[in-house]
Structure 1
Amino acid sequence: MHIVATPAHRHPVPGMPRSIAAPGPVLAGSAGTVMAAPVAAPAPARHTIAIHHVQQILLGAHRLGCDIEALLRRAAISPALLASSSARVTQDQYAALIRTLRRITRDELWGLLSRPVPPGVFAQAANAMIHCTTLEEAIQAGLRQYRLHIGDFTPRLHRSEDGRTISLRLHAHAPASPCQVFAESTFVFHAYGLINWLVARRVPLSSVDLSARPPTGQTDTERVFNTSVRYGQPCTALHLDAAWLRLPVMQDATGLGEFLRDAPHKLLVRYRDNGCLAERIRLHLRSHLDDELPSLEQMAQMLRLTPQTLRRRLRDEGRGYQNIKDSLRRDVAIGMLERSGLTLQQVALRLGFSEPSTFHRAFKKWTGVAPGEYRQRGMQLASAEG
C-alpha cells in the first residue's frame, strides 16, 4: 500500500495560481479545454534506470575495496552492463543494490563520504520531521539531524533577498571528490523525496544545481526532478518557491514504519509527476503497444493540439515524441525480459514489432546489449544466486 495524495490532502498555497495546487493530472486542449484522465487505463510501464547511476552508486564501494561483481550479482545486475553507456536496469535491481550496499558498508551513503552515515539516521530525521507543523519547520529539523553526522558538507536553508525563493544548499568544506559529488546529488534526491512525502504531494522545484559535471551517458536526473538541472555549479542546491514551505506536514507516526520500509528508493516514484505532458502521452501509448503506435500528428489530434504546439510543449519538458515511444518500448521490453516467460518473438510482437530482427536491432540500440544476451545474463545470475 502506498501513501497517496487525495484531493482532500492538497492545500492551495497562498499567492500561487490555483492550477498549481489543484489535484490530479489534466491535459489542456488548444482552447484551454481541460480533458479528464481516462477512467480505466493500464498501469504505465515502470521507468528503468540508466547504468550511469549504477556506476555512480558504486563509487564508494570501489573506494572501500568491496567486491563489485559480488555486489552486482546480489542485485541480479550483470557486471557486463557497466561497459555499455546506454544500458539500463530495473527499479527492483537498483533497489536491491541500494539494500546490499547499505548492509555491506553499514552506511546510508554507501562509503561515499569521509565517515559513514550510520544506519538509522534517515529514520531519525523523518521521525523528527513528522512532529513539525509546517514544511519549513520539518526541513530545518531534518537538516539539524544530518549536520550531526555529515562533516564533508553542511546542508542549510537560504531565503532569497526578496523572500520569494528558498534554496536548500550544501556547503562543501573542501574541493569535492567524485564520491562526494555523487553523495551531494543523492542527499538532495532523498531530501526532495522526503519533502514530497511529508506534504503528501509533489512540490515543484524551480531549478536544481549540481556540483557534478554534465554526464556523458544517459541520465534520468531531469526527469526525476522534473525541472532544469544545471551541472558544474559551485554549490549543490534545490530551489523552490518559498510559499510551498507554508504547507502543513500531513504525515504522522502511523504511516512512518511503512514509509521507512519503502524509503529511500521509492520516494520519487510515489510522487512522480504524471501530470506532465510526456507522462500522459506515455500512459496513453502504454495501452496501444501491441498496435501501431500513433504518429505525432495523430497524437496531437487526440490531445486537441496542433502538431507544432505538441512539439513545443514536449521540447519545453526536455522530451521528444520519438524519444517517449522508444523509452516506453525499452522499459517494457526490459521488464518482460526480466520477469516473464515470453519468448523473444512474443516480446517483439507485444511491443508492436512485426519482425524479431527489428526488435533485436532496436533493443541493442537502446541498451547496447542484444535482447537474448540481456535475458541470458539475467538467467545466469538468477541461477548462480539460487
Structure 2
Amino acid sequence: MDFQTYPSSFALAVLDAAAAKGVDQGGIVGKLGIATDVLQSEQGRISAKQLQEITQYVAIALNDESLGFLQQPMPVGSFRMMCLACLGAPNLREVIKRSQEFYGLFSESLPINHYEKDGKTYWTIDSGITSSDPKNYMIPAFFGALYRWSCWMINQKIVLDSVAFKSAKTDIPSDFQVLFSCPIKFSATENYLCFDTAYLDKDIVQNEASLKVFLRGGNAGLLAHPEDNDSYHFKVQGILRQAASALNIEDVAEQLHCSPETLRRKLKQEGTSVKQIKDGLRRDEAIYLLSRGNHSIEEVAAQVGFADSTAFFRAFKRWTGVTPRSYIQSTDEADH
C-alpha cells in the first residue's frame, strides 16, 4: 500500500494561489478537514489523498487546472485534451512539439519550449509565474507532471541527465529534489529538463483506454515518486517496505551488495540516512492511518512499531512539528 505524503507547503501554495483568485481558503480547509496547525507547521505533512482533494477542489472552484498560478486559466479538461492530441503522434519528438503547440494557447502565462544541443534535449519553462508562486510549487510540479507523462507515453523510464531551476536550492522543497533521480542545478539561467535526444525517436504506445487509467490519480498522482527511481534513497526505501522484520544498515547494505560504509556515503550524498528513511516510512504510514480516521492513536502507534503511545507521540511531534491528535481532530471536523 502506498503511504506517500507531501509537505504541507504544497497544499499552502495551492490554497494561497486560489485565495488570490477569490476562493475561500478557510472554507476549503474546513470542508476537507485539514487542521490549521498541520498546514502551518514547517515540517507538516499531508496525505496523498488530501493533496489530491485540495487540487481537485481548487481546480473545479476556479475552472482552472493551473490552480490559479497563471494569469490565463487552463479550463478543467485541458490536460486531458492535450494528452488526446498527442496520442496519435508517432514518437516523443512529435509529442513534445504538440504539447508546446497546445500550451502555446496559454503562452502569455506558461511559455514552454525545447531545443537540442550536443545530443541532449532541453525542455524549458519560463519562470514568469514566480511572482504568484512564492513557495516555488508550480514549475517543479509542472516539470514532474511532464516528466511522468512523457515516460508513460513511451512506456519507458527516461533517464534524466539533469534538471535545472532558476530558484535557489533552499527555495525548492526537498520532495521535488528527490522526484527526478538526477543531479539538480539551482540558481540556473533557465528552468529545464535535460535528457538524451535518442528518447525523442521512441514510439508512442498509449491509447485512449490507457489514458483513462493514467488520469485517475489526478494532479497529485503525477507527483508520486516513481517506482523505478534509481537513487539509493528509493532502493533502501523499497527494501525496508518489503522487510518482514526490522533491518539495520548492515542488513540493507548486504541486500544492495555493498558495504555499510559505502551505503552511508551514498545516502549522505543524497542528503539522507537509513534512520531518516525508516522514520519517513513510519511517519507517512502514521499520517495515512490517522488521516483516515479509522484508528486510534494507540492503534496507529502499535502498527508503525512503537511499544507505547507516549514514545510515538514524541516521535511524531519531532517528525512533523504537530501532534497525532491534530490529524484525528481534523478528521473529526471533516465529518461534521
- Residue type at the aligned position of 2:332: M
Identity of aligned residues (%): 26
1:169 aligned to which of 104, 109, 124: 124
- Report 1:203-352 matches (<5 A): 203-215=158-170, 219-269=174-224, 271-273=226-228, 275-288=230-243, 291=245, 293-339=246-292, 341-352=294-305
**Alignment correspondent of 1:200:** 155
Greater shift after overlay, 359-368 or 236-245?
236-245
SS across alignment from 2:166: coil
Q: Does the aligned pair in 1 maintain the 2:181–2:230 contact within 8 Å?
A: no
**Alignment correspondent of 1:110:** 67
- Label 1:371 to 1:183 Cα distance change in 2 as closer, same or farther (>3 A): closer
Deviations 1:51-110 (A, max 9, x none): 121122223212113211112233332233222010100000000111001001111101
- Label 1:340 to 1:376 Cα distance change in 2 as closer, same or farther (>3 A): closer
1:145 aligned to which of 102, 108, 122: 102
Cα distance, 1:219 vs. partner?
Answer: 3.3
Question: How far, CA to CA, are the matches of 2:236 and 2:287 in structure 1?
Answer: 20
Which protein has the bigger helix share? 2
- Label 1:215 to 1:61 Cα distance change in 2 as closer, same or farther (>3 A): farther
Q: How many residues align?
A: 335
**Alignment correspondent of 1:83:** 40
Q: Does the aligned pair in 1 maintain the 2:293–2:328 contact within 8 Å?
A: no
Question: How far, CA to CA, are the matches of 1:302 and 1:193 in structure 2?
Answer: 28
Question: How far, CA to CA, are the matches of 1:217 and 1:116 in structure 2?
Answer: 24
Cα distance, 1:340 vs. partner?
Answer: 5.7
Q: Does the aligned pair in 2 maintain the 1:130–1:251 contact within 8 Å?
A: yes
Question: How far, CA to CA, are the matches of 1:56 and 1:272 in structure 2?
Answer: 26
Q: Does the aligned pair in 2 maintain the 1:86–1:218 contact within 8 Å?
A: no
Question: How far, CA to CA, are the matches of 1:102 and 1:268 in structure 2?
Answer: 16
- Higher Cα Rg, which structure: 1
TM-score, normalised to structure 1, is 0.79
- Label 1:237 to 1:274 Cα distance change in 2 as closer, same or farther (>3 A): closer
Question: How far, CA to CA, are the matches of 1:179 and 1:218 in structure 2?
Answer: 13
- Label 1:199 to 1:237 Cα distance change in 2 as closer, same or farther (>3 A): same
Cα distance, 1:317 vs. partner?
Answer: 3.8
Deviations 1:138-188 (A, max 9, x none): 11111110011231242111111x2x211111235x584142854333322
TM-score, normalised to structure 2, is 0.90
1:179 aligned to which of 133, 138, 144: 133
- Report 1:119-134 matches (<5 A): 119-134=76-91
Question: How far, CA to CA, are the matches of 1:131 and 1:273 in structure 2?
Answer: 26
- Label 1:246 to 1:62 Cα distance change in 2 as closer, same or farther (>3 A): same
- Label 1:183 to 1:269 Cα distance change in 2 as closer, same or farther (>3 A): closer
Give structure 2 stretches of 5+ with no counterpart.
none
- Label 1:244 to 1:75 Cα distance change in 2 as closer, same or farther (>3 A): farther
SS across alignment from 1:203: coil
Q: Does the aligned pair in 2 maintain the 1:74–1:100 contact within 8 Å?
A: no
SS across alignment from 1:156: strand
Greater shift after overlay, 194-203 or 259-268?
259-268
Deviations 1:217-253 (A, max 9, x none): 9531022222233333332211111122221111022
- Label 1:235 to 1:303 Cα distance change in 2 as closer, same or farther (>3 A): closer
Question: How far, CA to CA, are the matches of 1:344 and 1:153 in structure 2?
Answer: 45
- Label 1:49 to 1:98 Cα distance change in 2 as closer, same or farther (>3 A): same
Question: How far, CA to CA, are the matches of 1:285 and 1:61 in structure 2?
Answer: 38
Cα distance, 1:321 vs. partner?
Answer: 1.1
Q: Does the aligned pair in 2 maintain the 1:121–1:146 contact within 8 Å?
A: no
Question: C-alpha root-mean-square deviation of aligned residues, in Å?
Answer: 2.4
